[in-house]
Structure 1
Amino acid sequence: VLDGIQNIIPYGVSSDLQNRQSNLVDAYKKNELQAKDGIGIFALSAIIVDKAEPSEALKATVAWSTGVKNAKYLVSSLQLDAFRRGEEIKQEVDIKAEKGAYFLCADMVLKANSDKTWMIIADVNQSMVNISEISELINKKTDLIPKILEDIALGSKRLLELNGASDALQLTADKLRNTRHFSNTLFNIMRGGIFDDGYKIEKWDFVKYLEKANKKVFKKKQGLLKGLPEVFTHGHLKSLAKKDEDKNFKRLAIEYMPLKFSRRHGDPSRPWNQFSINTTNELDGSKILDYEGNWRDIFQNWEALAHSYPEFIESMIHKFLNATTFDGYNPYRVTKDGFDWEIIEPDDPWSYIGYWGDHQIIYLLKFLEFIEHHYPNDLATYFKQDIFVYANVPYKIKSYADILTNPKDTIEFDQESDEKIAQKRNELGADGALLRDENYFIYKVNLVEKLLATVLAKVSNFIPEGGIWMNTQRPEWNDANNALVGNGVSMVTLYYLRRFLNFLEGVIKNVPDDDNVVSKELAGFFNKVLSTLNENEQILSGKVSDKERKTVLDGLGNAGSAYRTGIYEHGFSSDKDTISKTDLLRFLEISKKYLDHSIDANKRDDNLFHAYNIMTVENDSEVSISYLPEMLEGQVAVLSSGYISGEASLELLDALKSSALFRPDQYSYILYPDKELPRFDLKNNIPSKKVEASALLQQLLKDGNKQIVEKDVQGNYHFNGTFNNAKSLEEALSQLPEEQYGNLVKKDRD
């Protein structure tokens, strides 16, 4: 019998190094057998670096076995074919420059109805201290299998405790439902994390967190920190924060959450994802409390976690809002120590920048609804407190005019700003990435402003009867909709925005204060948006024309553009203005009217609702809307919008069962219909009449120039096969020799 594992990766090989230079990695591999106890040690002969310095590899991946006596061991796969041919194999003790493997080979004689059990155990990041401990265990010659099973059971018990802390353990008559709930909860805490010990906080971690967040605040609060007990409650920390006059300390204390077991999104098919759960410091064995994740992964999973730990909902909301930008968007990743954004990497085809358009509304709304349900009127207490901040992401959204010209290229990466933020982070800590006013102080605002900044970002991109314009270089949560970026318009976000506005209206009505103090710049933005909505209210009496649609879009888009540009160029002045309760309620009321009108316009003949639409700029004064096939997320969103009646909801649910979205075999739904895609030979065919009508194409064909079009042997015309979209064509046209084809290109473009 030969049994084992192959392709063992040694310590010191990053995923990037393995993916890019696996042959080089193989050359550095050294696979050794500690023959006396059958331990396989898989290490690098040296850490792979391109520096003129020594770089020793002092840790290894280790494999060993128990349960088989007198076995031969292999530490590579070199002799597998010999074993398959029935040839004798020789034990391997030292193999260089080959992929690691650990096989045991032994003759076994089994009587009828008998069995033989053995185990192979492997572990990573092992030092000689660890290896000597394993060797000692093996050489005691006791039966190790019960000990291993005991250790596995202990790991399972700890996992049960982690998952149970998020209410994963339930017992119903439906075993499948119990299992599904357990697995769903486990996946949730693996993304969003789980609290270390209920509402208990350990001083060492809070102190470490504060120092990383803001060194000045950390230094200033030494007396308070020294007075903290080694373990205290979340309630005690909140009490300290609310009494403290230092707004930065107050904010950081409220945001603090002792989470663990969180890891980044781990889908390995995407090269930017990393799977890592860090629970223990490898240097000293101490506990690690940490979390990080893509925006949606973190906040979507905290939504569920809040039901198990409702007192942390305030921290979740503050973390969310303090990581959003003044222009109403969010960076793509959130961590315990701040937030990160994507940068442009010229050599990485996967690198890109932009904002996902749906991340700000529904995830935040779920938190706001939760806190208002559990702690009524708590939100209103933050309407007057300037303790919220803006994330300073080095992206600049282009002007409305530029976005109209090319809605797929709308964000500029500010390299200089990125470098300044990095420098400030190094000096101060995570707070170095927060937006500052024109006097270079961290700019602070209240909850009303943060919520308005989020809402106005959506309303200023509202296209009547179309939805919310997706013009920030990213789709919504479903990356299958990447092609919609730029010309896509989201009814999905509009449905959720309607629910958001309805919620906000209820909160504001119950606030006794008449005036809301916000930044002067945001107040100006608000007033322009409200004026546009008021001035065009008459279009809601019937179907909106393309001209009326463009008029509203111009008013809203220019308002957002002026606001953004002012802050990009000058920063916040720190001057404040007021928005009356009457104006705020009027804004919410009329915004809902526009949204409700659009929802009605997007009901399909089959009682389903449109999810995403396409906008087309027809000319300087008209924008048209066209529709896409049905999508499941549109139905989910409109059902939760709070607008359609119970009767209409029932009609929609019945229609879903009759739609192409329903899977009778699974009694479930798919995101969008299974489309019949065109065959390859039906794509990229240019009608002869189009070619004949183009003097440029005729000349190119005559000259034998294949940069733009080619003619096949059957006389059919096709674009150059390297093109993948209209941008490729534009670039190819610009590369044609100017003297030879310049006038013809200009004529065809005109």
Structure 2
Amino acid sequence: MKKKQIHILTQRLKVNKTSVKGEFIETNDEKFYKISNYDKMPPFLISIVSATDHWIYISSKGGITAGRKNSDNALFPYSNDDVLHDVNEITGSKTIIRAADNGKLYLWEPFSEYYSGLYSITRNLYKNISSTEIIFEEINQDLKLKFQYSWTCSEKYGFVKTSKIFNESNSKRAVELLDGIQNILPSGVSHKLQNEFSTLIDGYKKSELISKYGVGVFSLSSIPSDRAQPAESLKAATVWSSGIDVEKYLLSSKQISNFRQNIFIEPENSISGIRGSFFIISRFRIKHNSSASWSFIAEINQNSGNMIALLKIIKQKNAYVLVLNDIKDSKQLLTNTVAQSDGIQLTGNKLNTARHFSNVLFNVMRGGIFNDSYNVEKDDFVSFVKKANPFVFEAHKNFLKNLEDQLTISELKSTVSSIRDPHFTKLVFEYLPLTFSRRHGDPSRPWNLFSIDIKDSNNHKVLNYQGNWRDIFQNWEALALSYPKFLESMITKFLNNSTADGYNPYRIFRDGFDWEEQEPHNPWANIGYWGDHQIIYLLKLLELSKEFNPDSLERLLETELFTFANVPYRIKDYQEILKDPRNTIEFDYKLNEQLIADEKLYGSDAKLVKKRDYSLVQVSLMEKLLLTLLVKMSNFIPGGGIWMNTQRPEWNDAKNALVGYGISMVTLFYIRRFVNFLKSLLSDISMNKFHLSSEIAHFFNTIHNVIFEINKISDGGVNNRVRKTIVDRLGIAGSEYRRKIYKNGFNGDKQEISAGMIIEFCDLCLSVIDSTIDENKRKDGLYHSYNILHISENEFKVTYLYEMLEGQVAALSSGHLSSPESIKLLTALKKSRLYREDQNSYMLYPDKKLPLFIDKNKISDDLVNKSKLFLSLLSAGNREIIYRDINGSVHFQSDITNSEELKKKMESLSDEQFKKYFKEELSLVLNIYERTFCHNEFTGRANTFYKYEGLGSIYWHMVSKLLLAVQEVYFNAVKSSAKKKELNKLKDFYFDIKSGIGVGKQPDKYGAFPTDPYSHTPSFAGVQQPGMTGQVKEDIITRFRELGIQIKSGKILIHPSLLKREEFLKKEELLTYSDLNLQEQNINCRKNSLAITYCQVPFIYSLSDTDNIVIHKKDGEEINLGSLEIGEEFSQPIFNRNGSIARVEVFISSDLIS
């Protein structure tokens, strides 16, 4: 049957049949990525950023939220992304145009769906490379008009919406328009207040026009309160326009329909009790092939003084020029921020360079950027010391007073070395002058709240960082590539805030750390320790330190510098853990209150573990490293992995039901790498003995003995009974250590342990770990990721879960697999249920279909008939636990959501005749419930939801971890002289995985701008959660290694075997970068070259007949190195960022490039 055309009255609906397309374009002297026909894609969220404290989150449909600092300082209401996709008609930009043509007046409402299909239109979306500006464009082919509006930020003036209309016809056009912004929040409305009391808040809203200046003022009549006292509201949001003659101003959306219908509109000078808007009405003529543009400038939190100053600026003829100049300066400031972390590259692959810029941008947004390279501002350091430890501040007041106003971090460490105060030294070593950091909250991550704390109330710069533990340290790993001399401080910060029982607090910030508190009635609150925090994030920093600064770790191995965080959690004794592995931590309310009170009085160091004389407990690097390993090995399950018994999962919170009975092979894989590193570190140094705290030494000896005994067991000897015996001994050793330190702390005694004994322990650990890894190889060629522990009186049994991507990544990273074994794993992975062909990438775990609701809660007749209780209840018509429907099927009552609820229901049965069955049939009834719902297979919400880390989702951070793991395997294969066939196979896998990540995908395939990182892709939509993802860290690291940058023994090596010919320029282009003084510089790059910066030094690669590196020094001297290795003589000045090296030219033989 032929499809009929759809009509509205006599008008046939017009459909744009052209496809979505992505490409780079130049506009306004800037490079933008353009998505043509973006409206054919499902809506997606976009993050627009600034160099200061602005934030903008905008839907591709136009709905917007924006503000400064945090969600409590919003210009438009802060809502979740699903809401933003729906509010484009009522929040943000709104434009209605009446265009005259041939005696008729045509109504056109760009970006609205009200008149969908009546005009032939094309919609395009543009975002610049720096993510500081977005442009929406609608082209009306029937009216031959084009309309654009953009959003960007100005540090001095606020948020700027610029509108532009183009006349693409051959004649002059008369235009009348209404344009502006809607749903403006007055200052003083918090996120919570708006979300919970929005209709109440409307009652306080006042919108006023300062007519002489055309400024809208949006305020509250008073601060909302039910208290019997006045509360003046003394701040307001302001909006003004520039660039167009205004006929009328409107302060609400009440008369929008009047404009649509050409009904007379009353100017609005004062509106109360409803949402505020700022619209202008204007009429003008546009010549053919010409345009007109105008702007709206909005700002929040303006007091009376700010407003008077604004009116003075508006009065000036060049007011808008000032705004434009500040926008340009603000954009340049952000580019400088990214340049400081080597985000500027110029290659033949513009997608790769744009994505790298975004990766670096979001990496420093989360982890921070160093304020002024390695320089330390005296005032900030003094403030840091005073806030951390007032006693140390007082003791060294004169020293601090006499410090130079500006000095480097190396000079500061050198200066303090003469002071014999370990507490002061500790503060120096953990000091990190970072700024620009914030937690990764946004409208698609409602569980996290962000705060951009980069300036104080007087507008002075503030140095600060904050974030969840794993977020901060993984972003610092990538940051350290550009600031390797801060690695020591990063490691110190990590170790100074780890606990004496071997774990880490939840959040970390400049002035300490904090933890989650017990909230019994909050279903989203929990306490506990994440099991993945301690190993891999620390190890990656240690590995970098060893390569960049070969002697640094050795110097710290015996230095008693490191402290312990005093988190008010107390892990239960081993025997108590066995009774209930899901409830293993007691919250010490008294200690919690004491620590919070002490911090207010004595600074953030008051939350560290102290001796009896109140001085800080400080131990060596060796003690910290060993303790980290010992705690993990005390939870080792032979054949299974590491027992997850601290009430929190590993990185994937959606797998939190693994807690208690879950066993992590993932952590065991990383422990293998950690042990190998420790062994290598000790083998490379001259030290042959270490002094350990007696408590840690005893812990070491006990675990050493058990691991030794495991190694004596013959192959196949670890059965379920033997496994329990081993785990008992390991668990009791951990329990005894904890009991000592919880009760008495560290007594100060030291015990000597030889380096040889620690190396022997490493070998013993590697042996039992490797045996367990081999046992966990699956029949399909993959490796188990997480297993389940079944506890009985005399046995510990291990069973396996389904395949997961995380385990394959960790197995590849562990160093256990050879090149051929890695290839087999990757081949199996591509054939597995984890592979999603539509995205050429990998899910976290296989997708599965959940039962239909109508089939979900049915108890089979044979199970019903097994229970006397069930039969009795049904016979009596008692519906407290089960009921029978009209078709005869039996169901559990809907408020029985798990077995615990069922147990409570059985205990509280109202009739005595049923209570007798409680003891008799409890086990049977629970088993029936389990067989009905299969809760033993439940590993967390990942089993039951469809977004984020849920069913069918690709979690891009894990795919980028896979990419990095394969890259590591590839370079290890190169190092071990693997066969060319193996190297080529690994290289193919690497680039196949990279292509799946998406930078080369078209926008409709990717789901958004492919130049931006996003967190995940569900099965039913494009990418979700923009920008602030840990993925960026891995992508930065792999990018530099693709470009050949490798660090070994304090030297830079160029190994370009992953560098593709397409990265080299097809024509001469200009590299524009910021030097170490943040001055803009330019270098002409020839055809067949590319340019990057590393530690802010330009590296210019060129194809050549031979390999060579030429060092260009600042004084003009040129040094030919004759190879692709830069010795320490020149590498260290680059790492030190001292400016002595102007640039580096790298000449690469064409034969090396594929």
When residues 26 and 717 of structure 1 are mapped into structure 2, their CA distance, relative to the original with a 3 A threshold, is same
Structure 1 position 52, deviation (Å): 4.6
Q: In the alignment, what sits opposite 2:340?
A: 165
Contact 1:241 1:254 in 2 (8 A): no
Does residue 388 (structure 1) correspond to residue 562 (structure 2)? The answer is yes
1:457 alignment partner, SS class: helix
Q: Distance in 2 between matches of 1:515 and 1:54?
A: 70
Query: What is the deviation of 1:144?
Result: 4.4
What's the offset of the Cα at 1:267? 3.6
Residues in 2 aligned to 1:278 and 1:349: alpha-carbon distance in whole angstroms: 29
Taking the aligned partners of 1:735 and 1:166, their CA distance within structure 2 comes to: 63
Tell me: CA distance 1:53–1:552, structure 2 relative to 1, closer, same or farther (3 Å).
Answer: farther
**1:95-174 counterparts in 2 under 5 A?**
95-140=271-316, 142=317, 144-174=319-349
Q: CA RMSD in A?
A: 2.1
Instruction: Give the 3 Å change call, closer, same or farther, for CA 652–572 of structure 1 in structure 2.
Output: same
- Partners in 1 of 2:410 and 2:269 — Cα distance? 59
Q: Report deviation, 1:252.
A: 0.3
| Farther-moved stretch of structure 1 (117-126 vs 249-258) | 117-126
Match in the other structure for 2:74: none
Give the match for residue 374 of structure 2: 199
Match of residue 222, structure 2, among 46, 67, 72: 46
> What are the Cα deviations for residues 367-393 of structure 1, in whole angstroms up to 9, with x where unaligned?
111111112232122222222110001
Select the residue among 334, 344, 353 that pairs with 2:518. 344
Change (3 A) 1:356 1:167: same
Match of 2:401 among 226, 233, 237: 226
Asked if the contact 1:322–1:388 (Cα under 8 Å) also holds between the matched residues in 2, the reply is yes
**Superposed CA offset, 1:305-351 (max 9, x none):** 11101110000000000111111111111110000111123554322
The offset of 1:284, in angstroms, is 1.6
2:798 to 609, 616, 625: 625
Q: Residue by residue, what CA displacement relative to the aligned partner does 1:457-497 show, whole Å, maximum 9, x if unpaired?
A: 21111112211122222221122212322222211111111
Classify the secondary structure of the residue corresponding to 2:373: coil
1:407, distance to aligned residue in structure 2 (A): 2.0
Q: CA deviation at 1:220?
A: 0.7
Match of 1:616 in 2: 790
Aligned in 2, Cα 1:321/1:53: closer, same or farther, shift over 3 Å?
A: farther
Separation (CA, whole Å) in 2 of partners of 1:586 and 1:664: 47
> Which has the higher mean CA deviation after the structures are superposed, 341-350 or 548-557?
341-350
Tell me, yes or no, if structure 1 residue 77 matches structure 2 residue 241: no
Matched, 1:308 2:308: no
Alpha-carbon distance between aligned partners in 1 of 2:352 and 2:408, rounded to the nearest angstrom: 35
Change in Cα spacing, 1:231 to 1:537, as seen in structure 2 (3 Å) is: same
SS of 2:372's partner is: coil
Question: TM-score, with normalisation over the residues of structure 2?
Answer: 0.63
Are 1:507 and 2:681 matched, yes or no? Answer: yes
Q: State the secondary structure of the residue aligned to 2:277.
A: strand
Indicate which of 763, 766, 772 corresponds to 1:592.
766
Aligned match of 1:10: 186
Given the two structures, how large is their TM-score scaled by the length of structure 1? 0.95
Asked if the contact 2:488–2:552 (Cα under 8 Å) also holds between the matched residues in 1, the reply is no
In 2, Cα distance between equivalents of 1:695 and 1:559: 47
Does 565-574 or 116-125 show the bigger shift?
565-574
Q: 1:245 aligns with which of 420, 430, 453?
A: 420
User: Does residue 640 of the first structure (1) align with residue 816 of the second (2)?
Assistant: no
The corresponding residue for 2:270 is: 94
- If asked which structure has higher relative contact order (CA below 8 Å, sep 6+), I would say 2
Residue matched to 1:534: 708
- Tell me which protein shows more strand as a share of its residues: 2
Residue ranges of structure 2 left out of the alignment (5+ in a row): 1-176, 924-1154
* Offset of residue 215 of structure 1: 0.4
- 1:525 corresponding residue in structure 2: 699
Q: Match of 1:445, SS?
A: coil
Q: Does 1:433 align with 2:607?
A: yes
Q: CA deviation at 1:359?
A: 1.1
Aligned to 2:1087: none
Question: Separation in 1 of the partners of 2:375 and 2:511?
Answer: 20
Classify the secondary structure of the residue corresponding to 2:467: strand
Alignment partner of 1:671 is 2:847: no
What is the letter of the counterpart of residue 743 of structure 2? Answer: E
User: Deviation string for 1:648-682 (max 9, x for gaps)?
Assistant: 01111222222232334433333223322322233
Cα distance, 1:743 vs structure 2: 3.7
Q: 5+ residue gaps in structure 1?
A: none
Q: CA deviation at 1:143?
A: 5.4
Q: CA deviation at 1:410?
A: 1.9
Matched letter for residue 262 of structure 1: S
Counterpart for residue 749 of structure 2: 575
Alignment partner of 1:196: what SS? strand
Task: Return the alpha-carbon distance in structure 1 between the equivalents of residues 221 and 872 of structure 2.
Answer: 62
For these two proteins, the number of residue pairs brought into alignment is 747
Aligned to 2:386: 211
What is the match of residue 1129 of structure 2? Answer: none
Change in 2 beyond 3 A, CA 1:604/1:267: farther
- Letter aligned with residue 398 of structure 2: G
Shift in CA distance, 740/395, structure 1 to aligned 2, threshold 3 Å: farther
Counterpart-to-counterpart distance in 1, 2:760 and 2:890: 57
Q: Is the alpha carbon distance of 1:652 and 1:402 closer, same or farther for their aligned partners in structure 2, counting shifts above 3 Å?
A: same
Instruction: Report matched runs for 1:14-33 at 5 Å.
Output: 14-33=190-209
Question: 8 Å contact 1:438–1:573 — kept in the other structure?
Answer: no
Contact 2:246 2:280 in 1 (8 A): no
- Residue 372 in structure 1 maps to residue 552 in structure 2: no
Deviation string, structure 1 residues 129-183 (Cα, Å, up to 9, x no partner)? 222232223233x254443332211111000000000000011111110011100
Cα pair distance change 1:16/1:523, threshold 3 Å: farther
CA distance in 2, matches of 1:269, 1:517: 49
Residues 1:107 and 1:458: Cα distance change in structure 2 (over 3 Å): same
Cα deviation, residue 740, structure 1: 5.7
Which residue of the other structure, out of 466, 470, 475, is the alignment partner of 1:296?
A: 470
Alpha-carbon distance, 1:38 to partner: 1.9
Query: Which residue pairs with 1:458 in the alignment?
Result: 632
Whether the 8 Å CA contact 1:501–1:588 is kept in 2: the answer is yes
SS at match of 1:710: strand
Report the CA distance shift for 1:522/1:726 in structure 2 as closer, same or farther (over 3 A): farther
Cα 1:716/1:64, change in 2 over 3 Å: same
SS in 2 for 1:561: helix
Question: Which residue number in structure 2 is paired with residue 473 of structure 1?
Answer: 647
Q: What's 1:483 paired with?
A: 657
| CA deviation after TM superposition for structure 1 residue 520, in Å | 2.1
> In 2, distance between residues paired with 1:533 and 1:148?
68
Q: For 2:239, what is the secondary structure of its paired residue?
A: strand
Determine if the alignment matches structure 1 residue 695 to structure 2 residue 868.
yes
More helix by share: 1
How far apart are residue 104 of structure 1 and its match? 2.0
1:86-114 Cα offsets, whole Å, 9 max, x none, are 43332222222322222222334434433
Please say if 1:324 is aligned against 2:528.
no
Give 1:513 deviation, angstroms.
Answer: 4.0
- Cα distance in 2 for partners of 1:328, 1:344 equals 21
Report the counterpart of residue 443 of structure 2 in structure 1.
268
1:534 partner SS? helix
Q: Cα–Cα, structure 1 residues 582 and 723, in superposed 2: closer, same or farther, change >3 Å? A: farther
State the Cα distance separating 1:358 from its structure 2 match.
Answer: 0.5
The letter of the residue matching 1:213 is A
Alignment of 1:706-725 (within 5 A): 706-725=879-898
Secondary structure of residue in 1 paired with 2:513: strand
